[in-house]
A and B are shown apart, each in its own frame.
Chain A
Amino acid sequence: MTNEITIHLDINGKTHSLSVEPRVTLLDALRDHLALTGTKKGCDQGQCGACTVHVNGERVLSCLTLAAQAEGQKITTIEGLSDHGAELHPVQAAFLEHDAFQCGYCTPGQIMSAVACIREGHTGSDDEIREYMSGNLCRCGAYPHIIEAVREAAKVMS
């Protein structure tokens, strides 16, 4: 505990100050220090996508980002995708509508990734969606419905 540093993180439009060891990842900072547990820890090694968040609008893995590295960047998590009590983000709505999950553990990462995938314009075909969503694994194998949800959300958002 001797080596802690104070950092300021801009998460979902709010600034949070926290004291962490430099080795703490953005994922652990979100979950363990800020009680933002919507972002999930699957593999903690870059292999599953469960921890996907947006940094400056781009999808990244919070398990391979240091919290200290994210200081000064604009971070969006699943909690920040739509305002509390307000309408769901079209991608969230599409995942519900198309039953695009079973246990739901991978879902926040899938949704954050899908929002970026649509914004990047990689939804031209189901194959393209599969390729550009391949960084998000689903142990329940909900892939067919995830593809449907992304395809339909892309239509709504265009």
Chain B
Amino acid sequence: MRDFSYLRAASVEEAINAAALPATMLLAGGTTLLDLAKCGVADPERVVDISHLTGLDTIRVDGEGAFIGALAKMSRVAVDAAIQQQFPAVSEALWQAASAQIRNMASIGGNLLQRTRCAYFRDPATFPACNKRSPGSGCSALEGVTRNHAVLGGSDACIATYPGDLAVALTAFDAVVHLGERSVAIDDFFLLPGSTPNREHAMQPGEMITAITIPTSVAARHSTFIKVRDRQSYEFAAASAAVGIAFEADGKTISDIRVALGGVATKPWRARGVEDALRGRAFEPEAVKQASRLAIEGAIDHGANHYKIELAPRVVERAILKTGAMA
């Protein structure tokens, strides 16, 4: 890690002004930034520490929805009673992520902006070719081991999986990312790699995440997050699903359903095909199974990651069956 200068920001304004300088990065929990600086992927000249700013760690839930400040810790949001009650999938996505130590450090804003775990991306010394790191240099993964790479949303330039869990739950429930005055719907916040995999989100230089909000809904209240991985804990998702369901008064016709996938796509992936197939239908295991196949519509495998195409629909099906039984 090259040395950098360190500034402890005293206000959001100071942080934003400093962050607009070239080669400058904000530091919240540091669990992504310092890790990547050690790998030689992040190479800031200036680090602006925002972790001590006050007033950005609010967690509030009212009739409208949840408001979560960008500096709220993952651990705090996971155990917040109102979040657990109104947005169980959000709490479940958080406590199943990383480790207790990391969740005590990591902020919600930093969590959204975590970078891919693509092994080629993380090892610039051995693998100079990576379009995400150095646009135009090629993609080492396309010719390499793809076990953890995406089957949905990839391009000729990059097939790196978005690794986070929280953003999957947020995508299912139409969260909004607040950048000071400006706000962006979560699905528009994350970008597909296309020909510019170096651009991962809709933030402009000098912008900062100040909060996220999640609108209240019956589906969000009756929701689940299921994460399947290579080991039982402290591991990224091989495939995950956030699901929320609301029923008509008859208790069996699905009036609203939300499905989002993680661990298999280049961005948190809303599975609208599954939702459309089940909305208005009676909740019935065979219909759920059929509809779950639609989760991987358009999927393309690269050999070693083929298992994700088999796994993802099963995870979706399990999550829908579990949520339906709760609602």
Contact = CB atoms under 8 A, between A and B. Distances in A.
B100 interface: yes
A69 B30 contact: yes
B72 to A, nearest CB: 14
Interface residues of A, number: 34
Contacts, number: 86
Chain B CB count within 10 A is highest, among A68, A69, A113, A134, for A69
A46 B100 contact: no
Contacts of B101: 49, 52, 59-61, 113, 135
Contacts of B104: 58-60
Interface string A119-132: 01010000000111
Given A23-B37, A134-B233, A61 B49 contact: no
A61 B102 contact: yes
A66 interface: yes
Contact of A46 (B4, B49, B102): B102
Interface in A11-63: 21-23, 25, 44-46, 49, 52, 58-61, 63
Interface in A100-134: 113, 116-117, 120, 122, 130-134
Nearest to A21: B3
B208 interface: no
Contacts of A49: 99, 101
B19 interface: no
Given A64-B35, A66-B30, A22 B233 contact: no
A69 B3 contact: no
B49 A68 contact: yes
A65 B35 CA distance: 10
Contacts of A132: 100
A157 interface: no
The A contact surface, by secondary structure, is mixed
A6 to B, nearest CB: 12
Contact of B34 (A58, A59, A64): A64
B49 A66 contact: yes
Interface string B19-32: 00000000101110
Contacts of A133: 100
A158 interface: no
Interface in B5-33: 5-6, 8, 27, 29-31
Given A23-B4, A65-B30, A113 B35 contact: no
Contacts of A44: 38
Contacts of A68: 6, 8, 49
Interface string B199-213: 000000000000000
Contact of A113 (B27, B100, B105): B100
A131 B92 CA distance: 13
Nearest to A4: B3
B1 interface: yes
A34 to B, nearest CB: 19
A22 B30 contact: no
Contacts of B6: 5, 22, 66, 68
A23 B100 contact: no
B131 interface: no
A60 to B, nearest CB: 5
Contact of B31 (A46, A59, A72, A136): A46
B182 interface: no
Chain B CB count within 10 A is highest, among A21, A52, A64, A65, for A64
Contact of A131 (B2, B3, B52, B233): B233
Nearest to B231: A134
B234 A135 contact: yes
A72 to B, nearest CB: 8
A146 to B, nearest CB: 14
A65 B101 CA distance: 11
B51 interface: yes
A2 to B, nearest CB: 9
21 contacts: A3-B3, A22-B4, A25-B34, A46-B35, A46-B102, A60-B101, A60-B105, A61-B102, A64-B31, A64-B34, A64-B102, A65-B30, A66-B6, A66-B34, A69-B30, A69-B51, A72-B52, A116-B100, A130-B232, A131-B232, A135-B99
Query: 5 closest A-B pairs (Cβ-Cβ)?
Result: A135-B99, A22-B6, A134-B233, A134-B234, A58-B104
